[in-house]
Structure 1
Amino acid sequence: MIIVIDYGAGNTANVLRALEKLQVKAELSSDKDKILSADGLILPGVGAFPAAMAELERRGLILAIKKAASKGIPLLGICLGMQLLTEKSLEHSETKGLGFIPGVCRKIPPEKGLPVPHMGWNDLILKQATPLTADLPNQSVYFVHSYFTDVPAAYIDVTADYSIEVPAMIHKDNVYGVQFHPEKSGTVGLRLLEKFVSLCKK
């Protein structure tokens, strides 16, 4: 069972719909026991980092997510969910993150002709291979975000060019993050989710 973590974040319906297309057994839940016994976890998210962390804290989910990851359960953060995997964010105010991957979430620097938020389709550039990156280089996926994860190169798997080299996929051990929306990225996104599910089955 794949658990899509429910903490009031947006876009969960689209994630569940994408998993349904893949005929994957998945459930939206904030039940700590289900999180700890899941085959894999997806942390979605649309919105602001401080509000998201406050809601995870309010629902008592931070410890459950950390325990699940420490057990080796694969975890995939999507968009804001990927940003939450880092140590902290500078969005609005400095806010502590889940701390799975070293780094800081920062605002994308504005550049003429490249408005923020970064919204739309961008090509992916492979930096290092992981179980999720096969068939991804030179594919185009859909982004909507104003902040990026400033993490060491060792944790960056894929980037996209948008005024800076935006980390599009990051990972450390069994924790993975995608800045783009696989559930809105057509066949390419579905293939990525399928690879994550395969990882969860191993």
Structure 2
Amino acid sequence: MLRASAHKPWTFCEIRPDAIVGFVPQNNAMNIAQALGLFLSLWRAVEGEGSTVGFPGSVEAWEAVHTDTSQDILARFHIFASLAPQETSERAFNVVDGPATTWREVWPEVCAYFGLRGIAPESSGAPFSAQKWMEDHQSEWAKWISTNGLKDGALEGTSWEFMQAVIGIPFRRDYDASASRAIGFEEVRAHAEGYRLAFDEMRRAGFIP
């Protein structure tokens, strides 16, 4: 980019999010919030309100530190960066919702949105697979969609493998956002809140009841 922009009337800024938590109305197969929202909604329909949902990953993934990035915080940093070229030109910035978190902190809150109780993974044996659970209950998808008047195609268009892969990351991957904070971008949000906002949008769009 430095070479491409040399002697040109434009410059650039590299913006780096972690896993983007958000919603798109036309479906997105590789969307962690969409996949979790559909999985937990169907779980509630099948297993009942108040039921427990084991974390679909290993103990290492449960404890691994990470940072999510809400779509609107990411969008607002793009605007912020474009309006402050003297601070952002030819630089790279990590953009995250807030201080690092773990699934131990986020999973119970994400499940609570659906009236469910999120619990820790088993300490031994193979981790619970949300991907396999969704595939095993595929015969119930059509009735669930019809009964609740939901958008067709979202379940079929979601990558459960992607969901399982993101949730199952067993190593630390938190981003350092000190550079974006240092130039005055101070917006923060609890990581679970980003999921709740995405689920609200999914409800309004008829992806989940």
On whether the aligned pair clears a TM of 0.5, the verdict is: no
Q: Which has the higher strand share?
A: 1
Q: How does the TM-score come out when normalised to structure 1?
A: 0.24
Q: How does the TM-score come out when normalised to structure 2?
A: 0.24
Please say which structure displays the higher CA radius of gyration. Answer: 2
Structure with the greater relative contact order (CA < 8 A, sep ≥ 6): 1 or 2? 2
